């Protein structure tokens, strides 16, 4: 598989087919693992990083050869290709901007990715559409089990799996759900969600995880620590909270339609009209306008566009995706023109 192959598909996780997919974009499980006999990355030298990366790459490709898993070495990729993988949520910003030997293994359908030499030696990620944390966990757990047959992970009977960051020690599991909450954001009630989840040791992040701001009314909710908790404990904690947030968002949407129908319809149709006719549109504007349109599709205000088409637009209008489509490096103004053109054509196809 080549990176160019990813351009024709948004990935299974963005298909909008999972439970509660009108609000829950995706569910993600990530495991942090380090190898016994190797120093943590923070203390490893360049030679050790190179040896580790080469060994892990070989084991990964041998173990998952039948599934067609591909491996990409980050130093061999240009900045646009690295950003492309970040936009796909297949690698972190830290891996993209890091130094030294590092890479990522990808499943054909993008449901599994394995980062090598990010913060920990391995970061195993599973992505599913909608609210499917247990399904994501089953995928990641299966990969982890197979890797344990060919790699020796650093493990302590007292502390569990050893990780660079103490909050990841234990199971090494981070569970997160990406939510689209435009009604709560519009009515300025989103802070109630932040305050509630913080009280139960969950954390809210932006579209691309740690250190990023909310964009397009997308929020990631995840656990903060794993030490002393089982995998089931972490997953159940989030599973118990997310339905309440979904219900809150749905209630606010219903109230808005009952009390401010004309205002909401105008907001949705105005956004749709701008996207259908604009000749230039920035990335920030696109996220804001698509957020309104996506809510409009969910509420049945707009019926000629499918949810999966809107989900794809969120992804394919990102800067690196546009430049991959045009096979050229574009400045900001050029990207705004290409983005507007792409959106117009995609929405016309959906009519």
Q: Do 105 and 235 fall within a single domain?
A: yes
Pairing of strands 70-73, 202-205: unpaired
- Asked if residue 8 lies in contact with residue 110, where contact means CB atoms within 8 angstroms, the answer is no
Q: Do 33 and 143 fall within a single domain?
A: yes
133-147: pLDDT as tens digits: 999 999 999 999 999
Q: Do 315 and 190 fall within a single domain?
A: no
- Asked if residue 124 lies in contact with residue 114, where contact means CB atoms within 8 angstroms, the answer is yes
- Asked if residue 174 lies in contact with residue 32, where contact means CB atoms within 8 angstroms, the answer is yes
Q: Do 203 and 94 fall within a single domain?
A: yes
What radius of gyration do the chain's Cα atoms show?
Answer: 21
Report the DSSP beta bridge partners of residue 174: 30
Domain boundary among 201, 229, 253: 253
Count of structural domains, the chain: 2
Q: Do 109 and 244 fall within a single domain?
A: yes
210-254: pLDDT as tens digits: 555 668 899 999 998 777 788 999 999 999 999 999 999 999 999
Q: Do 289 and 200 fall within a single domain?
A: no
DSSP string, 232-260: HHHHHHHHHHHHHHHHHHHHHHHHHHHH-
Domain boundary among 219, 253, 287: 253
- Asked if residue 189 lies in contact with residue 219, where contact means CB atoms within 8 angstroms, the answer is no
The one-character DSSP state at 76 is: G
341-351: pLDDT as tens digits: 999 999 988 66
Q: Do 59 and 125 fall within a single domain?
A: yes
- Asked if residue 351 lies in contact with residue 304, where contact means CB atoms within 8 angstroms, the answer is yes
Q: Do 27 and 101 fall within a single domain?
A: yes
- The answer, yes or no, to whether residue 194 has pLDDT greater than 70, is yes
CATH of the domain at 203: 3.30.590.10
Pairwise pLDDT comparison (279 vs 9), residue with the higher score: 279
Q: Do 195 and 317 fall within a single domain?
A: no
Rounded-to-integer distance, Cα 217 and Cα 249, Å = 12
Q: Do 30 and 148 fall within a single domain?
A: yes
Rounded-to-integer distance, Cα 99 and Cα 249, Å = 41
15-59: pLDDT as tens digits: 778 999 999 999 999 999 999 999 999 899 999 999 999 999 999
What pTM did the predictor assign?
A: 0.92
Q: Which domain holds residue 34?
A: 3-253
- The answer, yes or no, to whether residue 203 has pLDDT greater than 70, is yes
Domain boundary among 198, 223, 253: 253
Q: Do 275 and 326 fall within a single domain?
A: yes
147-168: pLDDT as tens digits: 999 999 999 998 899 999 888 8
Q: Do 245 and 315 fall within a single domain?
A: no
């Amino acid at each position: 598989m080549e990176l160019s192959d990813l351009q024709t598909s948004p990935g299974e996780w963005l298909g909008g087919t999972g439970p509660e997919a009108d609000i829950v974009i995706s569910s993600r499980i990530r495991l942090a693992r380090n190898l016994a006999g190797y120093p943590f990355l923070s203390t490893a030298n360049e030679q050790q990083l190179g040896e580790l990366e080469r060994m892990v790459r070989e084991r990964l490709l041998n173990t998952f050869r039948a599934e067609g898993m591909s491996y990409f070495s980050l130093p061999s990729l240009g900045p646009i290709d690295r950003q492309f993988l970040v936009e796909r949520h297949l690698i972190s910003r830290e891996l993209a901007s890091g130094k030294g030997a590092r890479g990522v293994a990808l499943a054909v359908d993008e449901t599994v990715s394995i980062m090598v030499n990010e913060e920990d030696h391995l970061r195993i990620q599973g992505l599913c559409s909608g609210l499917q944390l247990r399904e994501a966990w089953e995928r990641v757990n299966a990969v982890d089990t197979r890797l344990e047959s060919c790699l020796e992970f650093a493990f302590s009977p007292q502390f569990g799996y050893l990780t660079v960051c103490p909050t990841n020690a234990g199971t090494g599991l981070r569970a997160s759900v990406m939510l689209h909450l435009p009604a709560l954001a519009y009515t300025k009630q989103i802070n109630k969600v932040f305050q509630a989840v913080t009280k139960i040791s969950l954390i809210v992040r932006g579209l691309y995880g740690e250190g990023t701001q909310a964009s397009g009314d997308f929020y990631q909710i995840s656990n903060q620590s794993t030490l002393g908790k089982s995998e089931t404990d972490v997953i159940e904690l989030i599973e118990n909270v997310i339905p309440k947030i979904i219900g809150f968002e749905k209630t606010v949407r219903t109230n808005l339609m009952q009390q401010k129908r004309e205002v909401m319809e105008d907001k949705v149709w105005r956004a749709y009209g701008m996207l259908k006719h604009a000749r230039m549109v920035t990335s920030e504007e696109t996220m804001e306008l698509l957020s309104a349109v996506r809510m409009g599709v969910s509420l049945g205000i707009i019926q000629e566009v499918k949810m999966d088409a809107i989900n794809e637009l969120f992804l394919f209008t990102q800067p690196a995706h546009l430049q991959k489509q045009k096979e050229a490096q574009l400045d900001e103004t050029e990207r705004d023109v290409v983005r507007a053109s792409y959106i117009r054509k995609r929405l016309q196809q959906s009519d």
